[in-house]
Amino acid sequence: MKLTSPVGIVPKIGPKYKKLLENLEIRTVQDLVYHFPFRYEDYSNVKHIRKLLENETATVKGIVESVTNIFTRNGKRLTKVAVSNGTEKIDLIFFNQHYLKTTIKTGHEYTVSGKVGTFDRKLSFISPELEESREVNLNTGRLVPVYPETYGVTSKWLRARINDVVSGEIELEEFLPENTLNKLNLSNFSWALNQIHFPDIEINAQKAKIRFQFEELFLELLKVEKRRVQWESKLKSVVMTVKNTQIDSFIRTLPFKLTNSQEKAINEVLKDQTLEHPMNRLLEGDVGTGKTLVALIAAYNTHLNGFKTLYMAPTEILATQHYETFTRLLSPLGVKIALITGSVKPDGTDFDILIGTHALIYSKEKFKNVELVVIDEQHRFGVEQRGKILEMANDGTVPHLLAMTATPIPRTLALTIYGDLSISVLDTHPNKERKISTKVIPENARDKAYQWIRQRNEPTFIVCPLIEESETPSFENVKAAEAEYALLKKTYFKGIEMGLLHGKMKPKEKEDVIEKFRKGKIKVLVSTPVIEVGIDVPEATVMVIESAERYGLASLHQLRGRVGRGSEKGYCFAFLSTYSRNAYTRLKNLETTDNGIELSEIDMQARGQGDIFGASQHGFKRFKIADMFNVKMLEEAKQEAQQIYPFLDYYPLLKERLTQEAGEYIPNN
Q: Is 619 in the site for Mg ion (CB under 5 A)?
A: no
Q: Is 314 in the site for Mg ion (CB under 5 A)?
A: no
Residues 511-540, mask of contacts with ligand ADP (x by CB under 6 A) = -------------------------x----
- Output DSSP code: residue 279: P
Question: Which partner from the list Mg ion, ligand ADP, none does 262 bind, CB cut-off 5 to 8 Å by kind?
Answer: ligand ADP
Rounded to a whole number of angstroms, the minimum distance from the CB of residue 534 to ligand ADP is: 6
Residue type, 631: V
Rounded to a whole number of angstroms, the minimum distance from the CB of residue 424 to ligand ADP is: 12
Q: Is 534 in the site for Mg ion (CB under 5 A)?
A: yes
Q: Is 289 in the site for ligand ADP (CB under 6 A)?
A: yes
Minimum CB distance to ligand ADP smaller for 536 or for 546:
536
Residue from the set 61, 159, 161, 291 that interacts with ligand ADP by CB under 6 A: 291
Interatomic CA distance for residues 545 and 527, integer angstroms: 10
Minimum CB distance to ligand ADP smaller for 196 or for 266:
266
Where does this chain touch ligand ADP (CB under 6 A) — which range of 254-262, 408-416, 491-499, 595-603?
254-262
User: For the chain, how far is it from start to end, CA to CA, in angstroms?
Assistant: 34
Interatomic CA distance for residues 430 and 287, integer angstroms: 11
Minimum CB distance to ligand ADP smaller for 289 or for 527:
289
- Virtual torsion, Cα 128, 130, 133, 134, nearest 10 deg: -110
> Coil, strand or helix: which one is 280?
strand
Interatomic CA distance for residues 521 and 513, integer angstroms: 9
Rounded to a whole number of angstroms, the minimum distance from the CB of residue 250 to ligand ADP is: 13
Give the DSSP H or E segment for 401: strand 400-405
Where does this chain touch ligand ADP (CB under 6 A) — which range of 4-12, 216-224, 281-289, 594-602?
281-289
Where does this chain touch ligand ADP (CB under 6 A) — which range of 220-228, 289-297, 332-340, 610-618?
289-297
Rounded to a whole number of angstroms, the minimum distance from the CB of residue 536 to Mg ion is: 8
Residue from the set 71, 256, 452, 579 that interacts with ligand ADP by CB under 6 A: 256
Q: Is 288 in the site for ligand ADP (CB under 6 A)?
A: yes
Q: Is 564 in the site for ligand ADP (CB under 6 A)?
A: no
Q: Is 430 in the site for ligand ADP (CB under 6 A)?
A: yes
Residue from the set 287, 441, 464, 524 that interacts with ligand ADP by CB under 6 A: 287
Question: 439: how many CB neighbours lie within 10 A of its CB?
Answer: 16
Question: 284: how many CB neighbours lie within 10 A of its CB?
Answer: 25
Where does this chain touch ligand ADP (CB under 6 A) — which range of 72-80, 283-291, 517-525, 659-667?
283-291
In contact, 425 and 282? CB cutoff 8 Å: no
CA atoms within 13 A on the CB side of 313: 22
Give the DSSP H or E segment for 67: strand 57-71
Interatomic CA distance for residues 68 and 37, integer angstroms: 34
- The percent of the chain in helix, strand and coil, each rounded to the nearest 5, is 40, 20, 40
Q: Is 379 in the site for ligand ADP (CB under 6 A)?
A: no
In contact, 410 and 601? CB cutoff 8 Å: yes
Q: What are the angstrom distances between the C-alpha of 348 and each of 338, 363, 365, 521, 537?
A: 10, 14, 10, 37, 31
Residue type, 380: R
Give the DSSP H or E segment for 124: strand 122-126
Minimum CB distance to Mg ion smaller for 35 or for 379:
379
Binding site for Mg ion (CB under 5 A): 534
Binding site for ligand ADP (CB under 6 A): 256, 258-259, 262, 285, 287-293, 406, 430, 536
